[in-house]
Amino acid sequence: MVIFRLIAGSIWIFAGVFDKLLNPNFLNPTSTQYVGFTIQYFAEGSPIKQFLYAVAFPHPILTGQLVMIGEISFGVLFIMGALTKLASTVAFYTNLIYFLSAAWTGAEEYGINLLLMAIDIYFLLGGAKDFSVDSLFQGSILWSSKLWFVIGSLIYLGVVILLYLHGL
């Protein structure tokens, strides 16, 4: 469904561009809007607190930059319908981390991330069919959900390992 791709893509682009890239305080350690404070706040009551402190908190600027790049990339790929199964896999893990990190705060993060996880699963399984770059590859190995799930999972795991090792 094109409309879901456009909606999900616009949510990602808005978050990546307006909330982060164009926000001079996002990567500014002296600001109350600093990503490091957000990570710390979300980690406090989170069921994945230890994960956040081990992976994201030791280097919040790098984490913030990767989040920004990911969100903008997901948005562009969803809107174009290009590598949608890969984007939806990595976006799913990102939404899952956001959901597990922020849901306890009562913030709107709970609902939006739950909804986006459902959309991510929908596009991982079904792909972007109409008005998409991906539609050119229907029927080929490049249409395989399993292939893109494995590649996306390895990419996400690689980033997590990189962040963890960088924090040691």
- Residue 168 — pLDDT band, cuts 50, 70, 90? confident
- Is the pLDDT at 30 greater than 90? The verdict is yes
In the chain, where are the structural domains located? 2-167
Dump pLDDT digits (tens) for 74-117: 999 999 999 999 999 999 999 999 999 987 777 667 788 999 99
Put simply, whether the predicted model's pTM sits higher than 0.85 gets the answer: yes
Give the integer Cα–Cα distance in Å for 117 and 61: 25
On the CB side of 104, how many CA atoms lie within 13 Å of its CA? 12
Handedness of CA 132, 137, 139, 143 (dihedral sign): negative
For residue 135, give the DSSP letter.
G
Q: Which of 108, 112, 159 shows the shortest CA–CA distance to 12?
A: 112
Dump pLDDT digits (tens) for 117-167: 999 999 999 999 899 999 999 889 888 999 999 999 999 999 999 999 987
